[in-house]
Copies of this chain bind each other. A is one copy, B any other.
């Protein structure tokens, strides 16, 4: 199984699928191609939310503002999963979770650099000037990452150590999400991301409010009800809840929490009670 994630929208993901299907008959599963454009951190957050629900797979991820620079292509092995994408940190938060949930130690991930740029396997048309120049300056998703994902799938995640073209490395770009500070009657954290519904997802662990459902707390000084679900307040009303990700979420029933709480990704948030 190979999953595909990107910020490409359309039609570029289809070219990646074609490249993969020319090399392997793996099952393909689209995660999304709607990641916020070139937003490495938000993509890293969402990957960490959804990929852990998959059985062992190769996960192709292309959110790559550095395409065409000398940033490397990497494969991160995490438990029985492999993640393939640019060396910009987008793979690491989910890799730590996948590694942990599959018996590996969170700090024991293996990272491989994709040594040679795999070709697309598509020869230029006879009599055509396509591609007239090395094709992959702007579309590594098709020309580097998709072939690499197919190769990892073909070889199996366990055989990367001896696979030509994959070189184990000790240094790589990482992303870590900030931790919230919880103490006394206050939790201080940040909004990690705003989802498509407008829910502002923080880094404050849900357990902080788990015994306060039905009460109100203060969010940046203003009172808001803590409820188990959106529907426990009237439509249009603010609430503090715990999202499916297990974190505190600032929301509005059938509305946008980011607007109502005046926050965006990166905003600091103080909860007190």
Binds B, one of A12-20, A110-118, A215-223: A12-20
Task: Report whether A21 and B1 are in contact in the complex, using a CB–CB cutoff of 8 Å.
Answer: yes
Task: Report whether A11 and B32 are in contact in the complex, using a CB–CB cutoff of 8 Å.
Answer: yes
Task: Report whether A207 and B132 are in contact in the complex, using a CB–CB cutoff of 8 Å.
Answer: yes
Copies per complex of this chain: 3
Which chain B residues border A46 with CB–CB below 8 Å?
A: 11
Which chain B residues border A126 with CB–CB below 8 Å?
A: 100
Check A28 for interface membership: any CB of B closer than 8 A.
yes
Q: Enumerate 14 A-B pairs (CB-CB under 8 Å) in ascending A order.
A: A3-B14, A11-B46, A12-B244, A14-B29, A19-B53, A30-B30, A67-B231, A69-B231, A97-B125, A101-B125, A130-B245, A132-B207, A139-B243, A139-B244
Q: Closest Cβ of chain B: how far from A177's Cβ, in Å?
A: 12
Among A236-253, those with CB < 8 Å from B are 241-246, 249
Taking a contact as CB atoms closer than 8 A, the residue among B14, B50, B243 that contacts A30 in the complex is: B14
Check A119 for interface membership: any CB of B closer than 8 A.
no
Which chain B residues border A245 with CB–CB below 8 Å?
A: 130-131
Taking a contact as CB atoms closer than 8 A, the residue among B28, B50, B131 that contacts A246 in the complex is: B131
Q: Which residues of A contact B (CB under 8 A)?
A: 1, 3, 9-12, 14-15, 17-19, 21-22, 28-32, 34-35, 37-38, 46, 49-55, 65-69, 97, 100-101, 106, 120, 122-123, 125-133, 135-139, 142-143, 196-197, 205-207, 210, 228-232, 241-246, 249, 254
Taking a contact as CB atoms closer than 8 A, the residue among B15, B137, B232, B246 that contacts A242 in the complex is: B137
Cα separation A35 to B53 with both chains bound (whole Å): 23
Which chain B residues border A241 with CB–CB below 8 Å?
A: 137-138
Taking a contact as CB atoms closer than 8 A, the residue among B132, B206, B242 that contacts A206 in the complex is: B132
Taking a contact as CB atoms closer than 8 A, the residue among B51, B229, B244 that contacts A69 in the complex is: B229
Cα separation A28 to B28 with both chains bound (whole Å): 10
Contact A54 to B22, CB < 8 A, known contacts A14-B31, A14-B32, A135-B244: yes
Q: Closest Cβ of chain B: how far from A243's Cβ, in Å?
A: 6
Task: Report whether A106 and B127 are in contact in the complex, using a CB–CB cutoff of 8 Å.
Answer: yes
Task: Report whether B244 and A130 are in contact in the complex, using a CB–CB cutoff of 8 Å.
Answer: no
Which chain B residues border A37 with CB–CB below 8 Å?
A: 197
